[in-house]
C-alpha cells in the first residue's frame, strides 16, 4: 500500500473506533516518513489521551528525535515535552540526539533548569561529540536573549577553554567581549 491508501485505511479504522489498528497503520507510515508533522500530530492527539500506555512515550520520544527549526514544530515539541514531563518527570533518560534536540528546542522557553541539566549531561557524556560546541554556543545565545549575561559569560568561557580550535569557540571570543561589556554597565 502507498502512503495515501495506508492513511485512508487508518482513518477508516478510526471511524470504526479501532484505535489500535489505526495507530498501527499510523506508526507504519511514521517509520517511512519520520518528519511528517501532520502524521505526528495525528498520532500524538490519540496517544496523549492515554498517557499511561507505551504509545505515548513512544511518540514523545519520536518527537524529541526529530531535528527541525520550524516554528510550528517548535511549538509542538514544547507541548509534547510539557506533557511528557508531567507523566514521566524531568529526570528521564534521553538519547544523545534527543538531548541535543531538547536543548535546542527548550533553550528559548521557561524550562531553564531542564536546559541546565541537559548542558551538564552534554558536557559530561558528550564532550567529544562534534555537535557539542554548536549546542553550547546556541545555549549561550539563548542565555543572552534572556538577559542572563553572567551565565552566558561562564558558558562562553567554558566553550573557549574546552573547544578552542572550533569555529564556535572563535565566535564565542567575540561574543564574550560583548557580554562582558554588558555586565559592566
- Residue-wise over 47-70: b if at least 16 C-beta within 10 A, else e? bbeeeeeebbbebbebbbebebee
pLDDT band at 58 (very low <50, low <70, confident <90, very high): very high
- Please write the tens of the pLDDT for every residue from 107-160: 989 999 999 999 999 999 999 999 999 999 999 999 999 999 999 999 999 999
| CATH code linked to domain 114-185 | 1.25.40.10
d(CA 32, CA 59): 14
Domain with CATH 1.25.40.10 in the chain: 114-185
**1-89, what's its fold?**
1.25.40
Amino acid at each position: 500500500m502507498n502512503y495515501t491508501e495506508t492513511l485512508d485505511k487508518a482513518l477508516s479504522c478510526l471511524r470504526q473506533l479501532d484505535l489500535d489498528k489505526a495507530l498501527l497503520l499510523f506508526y507504519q507510515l511514521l517509520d517511512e516518513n519520520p518528519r511528517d508533522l501532520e502524521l505526528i500530530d495525528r498520532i500524538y492527539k490519540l496517544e496523549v489521551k492515554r498517557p499511561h500506555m507505551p504509545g505515548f512515550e513512544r511518540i514523545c520520544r519520536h518527537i524529541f528525535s526529530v531535528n527541525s527549526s520550524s516554528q510550528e514544530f517548535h511549538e509542538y515539541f514544547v507541548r509534547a515535552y510539557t506533557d511528557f514531563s508531567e507523566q514521566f518527570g524531568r529526570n528521564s533518560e534521553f538519547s544523545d540526539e534527543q538531548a541535543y534536540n531538547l536543548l535546542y528546542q527548550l533553550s528559548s522557553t521557561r524550562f531553564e533548569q531542564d536546559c541546565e541539566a541537559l548542558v551538564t549531561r552534554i558536557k559530561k557524556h558528550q564532550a567529544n561529540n562534534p555537535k557539542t560546541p554548536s549546542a553550547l554556543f546556541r545555549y549561550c545565545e539563548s542565555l543572552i536573549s534572556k538577559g542572563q549575561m553572567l551565565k552566558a559569560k561562564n558558558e562562553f568561557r567554558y566553550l573557549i577553554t574546552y573547544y578552542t580550535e572550533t569555529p564556535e569557540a572563535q565566535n564565542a571570543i567575540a561574543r564574550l567581549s560583548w557580554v562582558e561589556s554588558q555586565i559592566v554597565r
